[in-house]
Each structure stands twice: as structure tokens, then as C-alpha cells.
Amino acid sequence: MTHLGYLLAGWGVSLGCGALYAVRLVLRGRRLSAAVPAGQRRWMTSDTASVEEAGT
Amino acid sequence: MSAGTAGTGTGAAGTGAAGTGTGTMSTGDRRDEAATTGSRGTRLLGLGVLVGVVALILLGFFAAPADDEQRDAVRMIFVHVPSAFLTYTALLTTAVGSVMWLWKRSRWWDIVAHSAAEMGVIFCGLTLFTGSVWGRPTWNTYWDWGDVRLVTTLILLLMMVGYLALRAAGGDENAVATRAAVVGLLAAVNLPIINRSVEWWANRTLHQKSSLTDGNLEDLTLFTLFVGIVVWALFFVWAMVHRFRIGWLEHQLASVELEAALVQRRAEASAGSAEEASL
């Protein structure tokens, strides 16, 4: 295969950046989820469900 | 803050993005999902991305044919073009979110704009990097300051980095969102210029004219390119959902901290009043 070094650099950096960003998002999400009270954690929760969840 | 006060579209996007409806969720599911920004939908999507990446590597390196002129360097197209496509998608999403923030003052749209901008920076950076790496064996240079498409794409990247810097600088949440929305819209003006630059300044670019649909690509090359765009698009959706939820949690955390500070201030004020009264 010709130009293998260029290909590995281009593909490697692209996939590597994607993977690193994905890991960073997951870890950041976990840390923030732990910091926010349960009742305010869910952005898609209706008011009623929020109250129920906070109660449990 | 409840979802209702976040602005229009929160409920619909929340359920759509998560792939689950809160109303039908069991208590176990709720506990599970509350611990992370992931959900059953995003986990399935993530699995799809992983499978897609493996398929893309196999297709890109072993199935798609080499080019007569560029030989194997042409395989860079499978990461370069999808990155460029997702740069456009991210920036358009930022532009739509910015317009909606300026129009509706919806926090939901503001977070969408911010999330897409972050990904736009990543994809734009990857577009420039893979383009440069591809350019060396193809054009015999990593960079050409005379190439309008390269320079306008670099300007776009710098504008988007400026957008994120503006966000990170802090200040009043609404004022920052408004300023960022203006920068996001200004950056979006660049999109048609970048896209049409190879036509408008045909003698000032190393890039060829738009050629994806002119039938010059081999069928398997075109198919692999399509797979690359789909895989990158799935990753974009996955990352957008997570990034949006992070943005939402940050917003909630700021509200919680503000509330706690107010409670503390009120307590100090009442203690001060009681002390004065006793004197």
C-alpha cells in the first residue's frame, strides 16, 4: 500500500480525536450528573415526574 | 428549573434525543439514566458507531480500490470529506440555534448552538488536518496560503474557537448567549463562501471543483464515502445528545449554586437583623 504513513496519520488522528472526545463527554456527564440534585437532573422530565422522582 | 421553563422544544427534543419517554420509564431505568448522560438510545447509537467505524476501516483500507493517479492516498477521502460535511452540519446547527436564541430566548436552543459549535471546532480541525496530510502526497504541499478554500476554512476554525472562548469567558448568562449567537451567525456566513470558493476562485485553489456527483468516482469508493458520512453523522448525533445533556446539567448546576448562595445571603442578613435588634 502506498502513502501508508499519511493514511495512518490522517485516519489515526481522526478516529483518535473522536474517541477521546467521546470519553471526555461520558466522564464529564458522569461528574455533572453526580453534582446536580436528582430532581433537577433530567431535562426531559415533566414537572409531575420531577416531583415524583425527587420524592423517591 | 423545570423543563417547561427552559424554553420551547425542550420536551420534544428531550424525548427524541434520549430515545426514551420519561412517562413510560420504570424507576430502575430512571435511576440508571440519572447517573450518566447516557440512555438506552445513546448506548445503541454508540454501538452502531463502533460497528460502523470497523466497517469503514475494512471498506476504506481493503475493499475500495486505489486511484489511478493518487494511488492509495485517495483513501484519505473517507475521513476528510465526512469531516468537512459534519463541519457544515455543526455550523448550520449552531446558526439555527443562534437564531432561535435571539428570537425565542430559549435556553434549549442556546445549549444546542453551544454543543454544535464545540463539535464544529473538532470537525473543522480534523478537516484541515486530514486535508493537509492528504495534500502532501497529492499536491506536494501541506498548505498553500493562496488557496481560498484552505484560508476561508482556517478563518472559520478561528471564528469558532473565538465563539468557544467567548462562552468560556463567563459573565451574565443571557448576555454571553446573545454575543455568542451573533458570532455563530457571522461564522455561518463563511459556509457558502467555503463551499463555492472552488467555483468562484477556480484559478486560486488547489482543490478540484465539486466532483462527488459527476460519476468519476468508482462505485465502491462512492459507497465507502457514503458509509463514512453516515458513520460520522451517527457519531455527531451521539455526541450532540451527550453534549446537550452536559450543557443542560451545567445550566442546572449554576441555578443550584445561585439558589444556595441566595439562601446563605438571606440567612446572613436575618442573623445580622436579629443581632441589631438585640442591641
| Minimal C-alpha gap between B27 and chain A (Å) | 8
A41/B38 Cβ within 8 A: no
Residue B14's identity, in one-letter code, is: G
B137/A1 Cβ within 8 A: no
Chain B residues touching A25 at Cβ < 8 A: 37, 239, 242-243, 246
Confidence check on the interface: ipTM exceeds 0.95, yes or no? no
Give all strands (DSSP E) within chain B, no chain letters: none
Chain A residues touching B57 at Cβ < 8 A: 11
B57/A11 Cβ within 8 A: yes
What's the half-sphere exposure (Cβ side, CA atoms, 13 Å) at B227?
Answer: 22
Residue B139 CB neighbour total at 10 angstroms:
14
B14/A29 Cβ within 8 A: no
Comparing CA positions, the residue from B227, B242, B15, B231 lying closest to residue B118 is B242
The β-bridge partners of B71 are B67
Chain A residues touching B66 at Cβ < 8 A: 2
- Indicate yes or no: pTM above 0.95: no
> How would you write the pLDDT of chain A (56 residues) with one tens digit per residue?
788 899 999 999 999 999 999 999 999 998 988 888 777 666 544 444 444 444 44
User: Mean pLDDT of successive 10-residue segments in chain B (279 residues)?
Assistant: 37 36 43 67 93 96 88 92 95 96 93 96 96 91 89 94 93 92 94 83 70 70 94 96 92 82 87 80
Which triple of cell numbers denotes residue B227? 458509509
- DSSP secondary structure of B116-133: HHHHHHHHHHHHHHHHHH
For position B197, what pLDDT does the model report? Answer: 80
Cβ contacts below 8 Å, chain A against chain B, sum to 146
Residue B223 CB neighbour total at 10 angstroms:
14
Q: What residues have CB less than 8 Å from A12, skipping those under 6 apart?
A: none
B3/A44 Cβ within 8 A: yes
Task: Quote the CA–CA distance of A31 and A33 in Å, as a whole number.
Answer: 6
Comparing CA positions, the residue from B190, B144, B145 lying closest to residue B163 is B190
